[in-house]
């Protein structure tokens, strides 16, 4: 939350935003951008829309916003406020100055524990705020699914609602006051009307005029504003005659901040928010009710709500299946299922007393028993398991968006709110509408308040716009019949502002326009939203209009799995390569990013290390995907290999965090390889890249002159001298070349070896003792081992996975290496041997990139048997085939840092499993994200600083804090190097590969302690 140094102006001379950018750059200290790529990155949010802004300001302070407001008002340039940009309706896109408050304006300004209020700047993220409040036993309870991304300013802008709104209400029920700035520069606090007498004259007049509108429209408000809690469309003119099921204020008085909540940045800029807090719930109990049909689940909802839960949330069959297909969600969702339900309801109870809260699940069981459903309840009493299930539910929309092909679930009726009595019928009727239009919807979310999320699958490049309007018209008629709200959560934006007049009628629509004009007579605040809108199906505003085209591209990697179309009724995919993508699937893979912003996260996991340190949109997986998408559409020039894309990908460390954590599976590490390939093809390979890429080829020569090469580490002067020609940061130590590289080629041809050990370049030339340890452990466990070696006709150099070539885009060289590896190892695979490796980034290349190098079934066979050594040992142990005697070590604690690729493939846990076999060793996995070294990335003089900052996020502090006798374990060569470099100035810590620890614990090693034998028979 600290404000890093402001950034310079970036703009292109002939861009339309040049004027505003130039004027702004003179008066602000934050970053101003007006180049095409930056504008492209801010042209979209999580909606179907895309409008290029004129310029972007990332203000360093509120003074910057003040100055920008002056400039924009003077030039008549629209101001579009933006937080995480996770809006689904197009609220944050527009042809004006986008002001991104999320990077610097994110402090807690004031806190009053006794009043249970906090005042924050608009850019603070909900999870960060709640993390800060935890120590006070309080939280801000509007728990939106995007809690790790959503900023409080954006949440107020949209009148956001959380899963527990039944209990806590929406934003409007929880905002106490807003300090705002109007377009004319007037600053004032909007809060209880009675407290506004001291406001500036302009504001007092404004309030008086608002009151007179409220009084004039008193009856109309009562007549047309839906009486449901979940109504977020239009302006909250009903502050003067409240219609919300839940009162806005405890005493029925008027709070004018509530009129601004949900105004989507169209009335004023929010400078700070004063929020009402709630005590942290002490205990929660969760019951998962399994239903045979969606209709049955919906029909049961009002009876379940009558039990007084804090949430009742729906997950339907499609969502259950999608969650099952996601490796991180599968075990969680399967624990909650009874048989094969068509829908589940998550029913949560909250209370201060643990046993009493748990007993509420018995009440739930009793109600279910009345319907013969008691066996269909899964009780989830433990907080950790509850959280995992909520995480699946929160990821619901993102999971749904992972559908490949041009047809995508589109958000436009996704949050209609209807009274609970009509819920089941509403679902049936809407399902029938979808069927008639040749599509289907997936249902989930807030059953308790009648807001069901549903997105029919539409292809906006073809007939999506027509179907969208037709479905919207039919759906709205049902909503009206049930006296529901057309916009019950996500707001109006570009997709629904047109429907404000439909929902509220001409009279209130005029009143809304009058309200807008009172606040913003010049119409500069986010124009076209809520009042005076464009049409929802104006294709010129679409991200993928029917005219959308992609550049033809001859790709290095095989992307055809993405080059498909789907059947909107069944979700079935056409064969790979049939999708019509001129970039052979690369463009469609990039387009999988739907801009939901999930990568803007700082919680557990890896994604995205570069954004975590810079907080810049350009360094976010989303920013990179948007840049690539624009480049592939030709919007950034005639070639994809542009400097704009290169800059956006520069800090991508290829950690594959996004491969696992991006809900739609955007794999930027692989995309970077493809981009590098395109770049090298067009621009050639610079000497430094060539040197690093070809390291496996010249490593054997280097080993012969090891003492000479190692001199550089001992002489700071030499390191400094070499910095410029090599591009390697002088502050970095380099891996030490060994004169005694691993040279054994033992028994490679052993036709019966159980294990073929892959000794990668780094192990071979820098740490051969790791391979020795592996041999010791494997043999001690009774396995016969062969060392992977090339075919005799091709034995001039050792086998290599090609990682260094891939990292530099030299795909053809990588393919050559992969082919050698496949030729040499597949015969072993076919006779049932395991292919075991030590270096995660090398071994896992066999399971990942080898499959997209066009090497066919043999590559798949090899991938199926390639394992990291701990993974292999753990698998054997689980299968009862491992006998390994281990002694206790003098050290009693081990701290494990998982390599990013280990985490991406979900195999880091095996390291912990294997180390726990050592008697008395307390093993802990550090929640460490990326170490920041990432192969050669951290060595570069241009990356050194950011690399160290990545390491300092969590890994290095955890290592430094570990007691001196703790073993630091890291399987990645570069992770070990980073740990050594990052701690060398204080108490240097050397990390070791897990196999070295296991080898030390073999009984032959010299130490005391008991011997334990892992597992049973072989
Ligand atoms: C996968 C997914 C799940 C979602 N789940 C939920 C959910 O459970 N509940 C829910 O309510 N929403 C949900 N949303 C929508 C969205 O995440 C929320 O509305 C969120 O609160 C928006 O926060 P933000 O920081 O992204 O705001 P933005 O999208 O950046 O902005 C939102 C609005 O606020 C305005 N604004 C931003 N800052 C200011 C400011 N300083 N002054 C004035 N106006 C400002 C913007 O102009 C815009 O109109 C979901 C979206 C996605 C993609
Ligand atoms: S990259 Fe993935 S996580 Fe990030 S916005 Fe795109 S889809 Fe969401
Ligand atoms: S590979 Fe890693 S650094 Fe690159 S975008 Fe994905 S998460 Fe970010």
How far away, in angstroms, is 414 Cα from ligand 1 center? 15
Identify the burial level of 246 via C-beta atoms within 10 angstroms of its C-beta, where 0-12 means exposed, 13-18 middle and 19 or more buried.
middle
pLDDT category of residue 604 using cuts at 50, 70 and 90: confident
Whose alpha carbon is nearest atom 2 of ligand 2?
A: 662
- Taking the CA of 593 as reference, the closest ligand is 2
Q: What is the pLDDT of residue 16?
A: 60
Flag whether pLDDT at 442 surpasses 50.
Answer: yes
Tell me the pLDDT tens digit for each residue of 786-816.
999 999 998 889 999 999 999 999 999 999 9
Flag whether pLDDT at 392 surpasses 90.
Answer: no
| Nearest atom within ligand 2 for CA of residue 661 | 3
Segment 945-954 shows an average pLDDT of: 96
- How large a percentage of the chain has pLDDT more than 70? 96
Q: What is the pLDDT of residue 1004?
A: 66
Mutate to test the pocket of ligand 1, among 141, 153, 526 (most ligand atoms within 8 A of CB): 153
Q: Is 896 in the pocket of ligand 3 (CB under 6 A)?
A: no
Q: What is the pLDDT of residue 24?
A: 96
Q: What is the pLDDT of residue 330?
A: 87
Identify the burial level of 569 via C-beta atoms within 10 angstroms of its C-beta, where 0-12 means exposed, 13-18 middle and 19 or more buried.
middle
- Biggest alpha carbon–alpha carbon distance for the chain: 93
Whose alpha carbon is nearest atom 2 of ligand 3?
A: 655
Closest-CA residue to 298 (of 161, 482, 171):
482
Side-by-side strand order, sheet with 966-970: 922-925, 893-897, 966-970
Is 205:199 a contact under the CB 8 Å cutoff? no
Whose alpha carbon is nearest atom 3 of ligand 3?
A: 652
Q: How many C-beta atoms lie closer than 10 Å to residue 265's C-beta?
A: 27
How far away, in angstroms, is 983 Cα from ligand 3 center? 25
The region of weakest confidence among 72-86, 262-276, 446-460, 548-562 is 446-460
Q: What is the pLDDT of residue 456?
A: 93
Segment 930-945 shows an average pLDDT of: 94
Flag whether pLDDT at 1006 surpasses 60.
Answer: no
pLDDT category of residue 749 using cuts at 50, 70 and 90: low
Is 427:452 a contact under the CB 8 Å cutoff? yes
CA separation for the pair 235, 508 (Å, rounded)? 9
For the CA atoms of the chain, what is the radius of gyration?
A: 30
The region of weakest confidence among 7-11, 113-117, 352-356 is 7-11
Whose alpha carbon is nearest atom 11 of ligand 1?
A: 160
| Nearest atom within ligand 3 for CA of residue 610 | 3
How far away, in angstroms, is 622 Cα from ligand 2 center? 5
Backbone phi, psi, residue 627, to 5°: -65, -45
Q: Determine the Cα angle at 948 with ends 946 and 951, to 5°.
A: 115
* Omega cis (within 30) before 690: no
3-state SS class at 286: strand
| Nearest atom within ligand 2 for CA of residue 665 | 2
Is 315:443 a contact under the CB 8 Å cutoff? no
Q: What is the pLDDT of residue 7?
A: 45
CA separation for the pair 533, 49 (Å, rounded)? 14
Q: Which residues of 344-371 are buried (b: 16+ CB within 10 A; e: fewer)?
A: bbbbbbbbeeeeebbebbeebbebbeee
- Taking the CA of 183 as reference, the closest ligand is 1
Mutate to test the pocket of ligand 2, among 596, 619, 624 (most ligand atoms within 8 A of CB): 596
Segment 590-612 shows an average pLDDT of: 93
Flag whether pLDDT at 780 surpasses 90.
Answer: yes
User: Which residues lie with the beta carbon below 6 Å from any ligand 1 atom?
Assistant: 45-46, 80-88, 91-92, 101, 122, 144-146, 150-151, 153-155, 157-158, 160-162, 264-265, 269-270, 397-398, 489-490, 526, 596
Flag whether pLDDT at 13 surpasses 90.
Answer: no
CA separation for the pair 647, 37 (Å, rounded)? 10
How far away, in angstroms, is 597 Cα from ligand 2 center? 5
Whose alpha carbon is nearest atom 7 of ligand 2?
A: 593
Q: Determine the Cα angle at 491 with ends 94 and 467, to 5°.
A: 80
Segment 826-855 shows an average pLDDT of: 97
- Taking the CA of 163 as reference, the closest ligand is 1
Mean pLDDT of the chain: 93
Q: Is 655 in the pocket of ligand 3 (CB under 6 A)?
A: yes
Q: What is the pLDDT of residue 444?
A: 85
Tell me the pLDDT tens digit for each residue of 311-338.
999 999 988 988 887 777 888 999 999 9
- Taking the CA of 848 as reference, the closest ligand is 3
Q: What is the pLDDT of residue 937?
A: 94
Q: Is 652 in the pocket of ligand 3 (CB under 6 A)?
A: yes
| Composition of the chain by helix, strand, coil, percent to 5 | 45, 15, 45
- Taking the CA of 930 as reference, the closest ligand is 3
What stretch of H or E contains 445? strand 443-445
Closest-CA residue to 981 (of 947, 1014, 1006, 1010):
947
The region of weakest confidence among 6-10, 459-463, 530-534 is 6-10
Flag whether pLDDT at 3 surpasses 70.
Answer: no
Tell me the pLDDT tens digit for each residue of 340-361.
999 999 999 999 999 999 999 9
How far away, in angstroms, is 819 Cα from ligand 2 center? 33
| Nearest atom within ligand 3 for CA of residue 656 | 1
Segment 583-601 shows an average pLDDT of: 96
Is 293:343 a contact under the CB 8 Å cutoff? yes
- Torsion region of 116: left, alpha or beta (phi above 0 gives left; psi -120 to 50 gives alpha): left
Tokens of 464: 């999506």
Whose alpha carbon is nearest atom 31 of ligand 1?
A: 154
How far away, in angstroms, is 87 Cα from ligand 2 center? 14
Mutate to test the pocket of ligand 1, among 72, 94, 157 (most ligand atoms within 8 A of CB): 157
CA separation for the pair 608, 28 (Å, rounded)? 28
- Torsion region of 228: left, alpha or beta (phi above 0 gives left; psi -120 to 50 gives alpha): beta
CA separation for the pair 702, 762 (Å, rounded)? 13
Q: What is the pLDDT of residue 745?
A: 52
How far away, in angstroms, is 947 Cα from ligand 3 center? 13
Flag whether pLDDT at 1012 surpasses 50.
Answer: no
The alpha-helical segments, DSSP class H, found in 934-972 are 944-953, 955-961
- Taking the CA of 397 as reference, the closest ligand is 1
- Taking the CA of 525 as reference, the closest ligand is 1
Q: What is the pLDDT of residue 1007?
A: 40
Q: How many C-beta atoms lie closer than 10 Å to residue 236's C-beta?
A: 26
3-state SS class at 600: coil
Q: What is the pLDDT of residue 867?
A: 98
How far away, in angstroms, is 607 Cα from ligand 3 center? 6
Tokens of 958: 């955890």
- Torsion region of 539: left, alpha or beta (phi above 0 gives left; psi -120 to 50 gives alpha): alpha
Q: Which residues of 837-860 are buried (b: 16+ CB within 10 A; e: fewer)?
A: bbbbbbbbbbbbbbbbbebeebbe
Mutate to test the pocket of ligand 1, among 45, 68, 146, 400 (most ligand atoms within 8 A of CB): 146
CA separation for the pair 621, 664 (Å, rounded)? 12
CA separation for the pair 138, 277 (Å, rounded)? 6
Tell me the pLDDT tens digit for each residue of 695-726.
999 999 999 999 999 999 999 999 999 999 88
Flag whether pLDDT at 958 surpasses 50.
Answer: yes
Q: Is 668 in the pocket of ligand 3 (CB under 6 A)?
A: yes
Mutate to test the pocket of ligand 3, among 601, 621, 659, 933 (most ligand atoms within 8 A of CB): 621
The region of weakest confidence among 18-27, 180-189, 890-899 is 18-27
Q: What is the pLDDT of residue 1016?
A: 31
Flag whether pLDDT at 396 surpasses 80.
Answer: no
CA separation for the pair 675, 555 (Å, rounded)? 9
The region of weakest confidence among 408-422, 512-526, 957-971 is 408-422
| Nearest atom within ligand 3 for CA of residue 624 | 5
Mutate to test the pocket of ligand 3, among 653, 659, 675 (most ligand atoms within 8 A of CB): 653
- How large a percentage of the chain has pLDDT more than 90? 86
CA separation for the pair 398, 405 (Å, rounded)? 15
Tokens of 728: 């390697």
Tell me the pLDDT tens digit for each residue of 211-255.
999 999 999 999 999 988 788 999 999 999 999 989 999 999 999
Tell the residue number behind the tokens 């464009």, with chain if given.
534
């Amino acid at each position: 939350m600290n404000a890093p140094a402001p950034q310079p102006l970036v703009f292109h001379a002939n861009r339309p935003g040049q004027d505003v950018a130039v004027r702004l750059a003179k008066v602000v200290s934050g970053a101003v951008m007006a180049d095409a790529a930056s504008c492209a990155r801010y042209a979209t949010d999580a909606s179907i829309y895309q409008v290029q802004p004129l310029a972007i300001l990332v203000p360093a302070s509120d003074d910057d916003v003040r100055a920008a407001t002056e400039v924009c008002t003077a030039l008549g340039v629209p101001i579009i406020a933006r937080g995480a940009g996770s809006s689904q309706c197009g609220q944050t896109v527009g042809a004006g100055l986008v002001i991104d408050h999320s990077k610097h304006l994110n402090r807690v300004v004031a806190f009053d524990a006794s009043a249970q209020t906090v005042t924050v700047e608009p850019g603070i993220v909900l999870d960060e705020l709640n993390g800060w409040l935890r120590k006070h036993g309080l939280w801000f309870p509007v728990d939106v699914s995007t809690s790790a991304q959503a900023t409080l300013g954006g949440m107020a802008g949209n009148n956001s609602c959380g899963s527990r709104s039944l209990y806590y209400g929406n934003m409007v029920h929880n905002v106490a006051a807003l300090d705002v700035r109007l377009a004319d520069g007037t600053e004032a606090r909007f809060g209880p009307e009675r407290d506004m007498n001291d406001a500036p004259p302009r504001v007092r007049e404004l309030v008086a005029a608002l009151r007179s509108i409220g009084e004039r429209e008193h009856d109309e408000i009562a007549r047309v504003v839906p009486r449901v809690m979940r109504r977020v469309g239009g302006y909250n003119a009903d502050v003067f005659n409240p219609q919300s099921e839940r009162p806005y204020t405890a005493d029925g008085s008027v709070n004018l901040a509530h009129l601004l909540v949900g105004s989507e940045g169209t009335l004023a800029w929010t400078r700070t928010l004063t929020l009402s807090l709630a005590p942290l719930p002490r205990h929660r109990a969760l019951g998962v009710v399994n239903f045979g049909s969606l209709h049955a689940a919906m029909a049961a909802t009002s009876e379940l709500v009558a039990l007084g839960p804090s949430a009742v949330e729906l997950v339907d069959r499609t969502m259950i299946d999608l969650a099952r297909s996601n490796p991180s969600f599968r075990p969680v969702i399967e624990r909650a299922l009874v048989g094969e339900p068509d829908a589940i309801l998550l029913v949560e109870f909250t209370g201060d007393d643990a046993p009493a809260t748990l007993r509420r699940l018995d009440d739930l069981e009793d109600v279910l028993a009345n319907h013969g459903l008691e066996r269909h309840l899964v009780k989830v009493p433990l907080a950790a398991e509850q959280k995992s299930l909520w995480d699946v539910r929160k990821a619901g929309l993102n999971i749904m968006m992972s559908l490949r092909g041009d047809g995508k679930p589109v958000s436009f009726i996704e949050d209609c709110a209807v009274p609970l009595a009509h819920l089941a019928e509403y679902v049936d009727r809407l399902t029938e509408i979808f069927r008639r239009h040749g599509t289907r919807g997936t249902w989930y979310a807030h059953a308790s308040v009648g807001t069901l999320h549903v997105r029919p699958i539409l292809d906006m490049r073809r007939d999506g716009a027509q179907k969208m309007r037709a479905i919207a018209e039919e759906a709205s008629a049902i909503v009206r019949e049930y006296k529901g709200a057309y916009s019950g959560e996500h707001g109006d934006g570009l997709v629904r502002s047109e429907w404000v007049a439909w929902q509220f009628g001409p009279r209130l629509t005029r009143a809304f326009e009058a309200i807008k004009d009172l606040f913003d007579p010049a119409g500069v605040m986010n124009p076209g939203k809520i009042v005076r809108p464009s049409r929802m199906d104006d294709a010129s505003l679409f991200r993928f209009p029917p005219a959308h085209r992609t550049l033809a591209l001859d790709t290095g990697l095989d992307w055809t799995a993405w080059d498909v179309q789907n059947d909107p009724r069944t979700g079935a995919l056409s064969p790979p390569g049939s999708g019509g993508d001129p970039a052979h699937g690369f463009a469609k893979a990039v387009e999988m990013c739907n801009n939901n912003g999930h990568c803007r996260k700082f919680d557990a996991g890896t994604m995205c290390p570069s954004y975590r340190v810079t907080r810049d949109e350009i360094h976010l997986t989303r920013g990179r995907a948007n840049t690539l998408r624009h480049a592939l559409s030709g919007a950034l020039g005639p070639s994809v290999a542009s400097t704009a894309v290169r800059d956006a990908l520069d800090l991508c460390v290829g950690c594959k965090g996004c491969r696992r954590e991006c809900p739609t599976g955007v794999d930027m590490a692989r995309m970077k390889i493809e981009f590098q390939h395109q770049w090298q093809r067009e621009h050639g390979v610079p000497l430094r890249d060539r040197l690093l890429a070809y390291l496996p080829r010249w490593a054997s020569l280097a080993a012969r002159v090891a003492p000479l090469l190692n001199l550089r580490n001992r002489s700071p002067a030499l390191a400094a001298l070499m910095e410029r020609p090599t591009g390697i940061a002088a502050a970095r130590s380099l891996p030490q070349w060994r004169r005694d590289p691993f040279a054994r080629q033992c028994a490679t041809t052993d036709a019966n070896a159980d294990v073929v050990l892959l000794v990668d370049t780094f192990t071979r030339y820098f740490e051969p003792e790791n391979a020795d340890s592996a041999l010791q452990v494997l043999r001690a466990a009774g396995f016969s081992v062969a060392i992977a070696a090339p075919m005799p006709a091709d034995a001039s150099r050792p086998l290599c996975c090609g990682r260094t070539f891939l990292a530099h885009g030299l795909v053809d060289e990588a393919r050559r290496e992969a082919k050698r590896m496949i030729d040499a190892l597949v015969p072993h695979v076919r006779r049932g041997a395991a292919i075991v490796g030590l270096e995660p980034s090398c071994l896992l290349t066999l399971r990942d990139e080898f499959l997209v190098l066009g090497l066919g079934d043999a590559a798949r066979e090899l991938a199926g048997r390639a394992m990291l050594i701990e993974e292999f040992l753990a698998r054997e142990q689980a299968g009862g085939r491992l006998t390994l005697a281990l002694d206790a070590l003098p050290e009693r604690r081990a701290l494990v840092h998982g390599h990013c690729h280990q985490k991406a493939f979900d195999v880091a846990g095996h390291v912990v499993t294997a180390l726990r076999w050592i008697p008395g060793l307390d093993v802990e996995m550090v929640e460490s994200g990326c170490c920041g070294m990432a192969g050669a990335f951290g060595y570069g003089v241009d990356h050194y600083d950011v690399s160290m900052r990545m390491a300092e996020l969590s890994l290095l502090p955890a290592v430094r804090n570990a007691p001196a006798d703790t073993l630091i374990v890291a399987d990645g060569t570069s992770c070990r190097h980073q740990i050594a470099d990052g701690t060398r100035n204080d108490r240097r810590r050397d990390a070791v590969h897990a196999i070295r620890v296991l080898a030390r614990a073999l009984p032959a090693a010299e130490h005391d302690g008991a011997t334990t034998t892992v597992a049973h028979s072989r």
